Structure 1
Amino acid sequence: MYRELRGRHRSKSNSQYRCLTSIVKIASKHDVDPKQLVDALVEAGEQTLSHCGKLTIALRGADNDSATFLITKEEDVIWQSQIHLESLRNPEVLKHHIPDIPLPQPTKREPHQTMQPIDDLRCGMTGIDVTAKIIEVPPIQPVITRWGSECYVSNVTIADTTGSIRLSLWNTRADKVRVGDEVELTNCSVSRFAGQLQLRLKRTSTMSILNHLPQELASARS
């Protein structure tokens, strides 16, 4: 691999290989063609500035042997490094070796079962669904957020056949449930507060009431 670039100048070829590895990884992460990113670097070397997808490539400086490039995405710095001018003069050599660069394999995580029994919930789980019954609805409490606005929360308790867990319901959601209601929750996360597991609803979460207990029965059970 990379025999054309190695030859007698091993340290330079190693530097070029590391550079190409970075280019390929950046292209993969930001969904651009690595060959087009090589072309954009060449263009920036000639014109001082170029673009590749949402990436901006800027020439920061150059000497007789190398040029320093800065790659940004909007206001975020993605990469800054030197590239040997020899590589920029022969971009087809770089492109030829792109298939030789191994990409890091994404870490495989065991996907959570969509519908989770409460007893199986663990802190840090996200994107889970739960169907359970409301067994306790404490009075709604006012809360002052760190931005100074007032919100309302009720830390209700829900349960299924395997166990129970606290569920934080904010503002209008807190008014919708009664003891005995069966609810279906989607895209929730599990955290820990005051030593207890707690189910949380995100902005993309939903709460559906499957069986709404009449008010008189709810009052009798509470």
Structure 2
Amino acid sequence: MRQKKSTLGEHLALLSVKYSVYPNEVFQALVVAKQTEKTASCGNLTVEYRGKMKGETIFLITKDNDVVAQFRVEEAFLHRKDNPFESWMSTDKIKKKIAKQNTDSVYTHIKDLRAGMKRVNLKAHVQEIPKPAQVHTQFGNTVMVVNAIVGDETGKIKLCLWEGQIGQINVGDNIELKNGQVCIFRGEKQLRLGKNGLLTVLESAQEIKPIATVR
């Protein structure tokens, strides 16, 4: 039974990468479609409730009226308080899929980041991770979010992390971010992982020289 869940989660994580949809949006669309017994949208995908069978809910995912996937989901899966897709986004299979979509690793310095930039690759040092805060989403649930401070030799910026992303890094880590995006929140630039972002802790500090703590 546990293996079945992992297979489903990994499959849906692959869909989120392929169709550039946030994993959290996929999960919430499943929940909304189940609650309303109708359809829910997530990015360019439509999730449709198709009924129940043997204690499982059947969903149909389409894009522009073309069938993308149909599958069953156990009730316990939909009632989870956390986002079950976050952990599957970190599996080797998903990382390889994302890496394949980002073969050109041109790194950007923090000082050169501009609002609206997408597919940003950079290497930085984790300087600070405040206490996570709870925020309410448009779907009516609460999630944990934290704005970590990361820096390189040219500057520093807030890195917005959600749910399972929060535990991926620690203060003092040297990190590599691929396929990120820069946005403005409350008048301040922020770096986010984006729909297909990949965050990796580098084993050696030598990989991102020079690193400087920006104050």
Q: State TM-score, norm by structure 2.
A: 0.45
Bigger radius of gyration, 1 or 2? 1
Q: Which has the higher contact order (CA 8 A, sep 6+)?
A: 2
Q: State TM-score, norm by structure 1.
A: 0.44
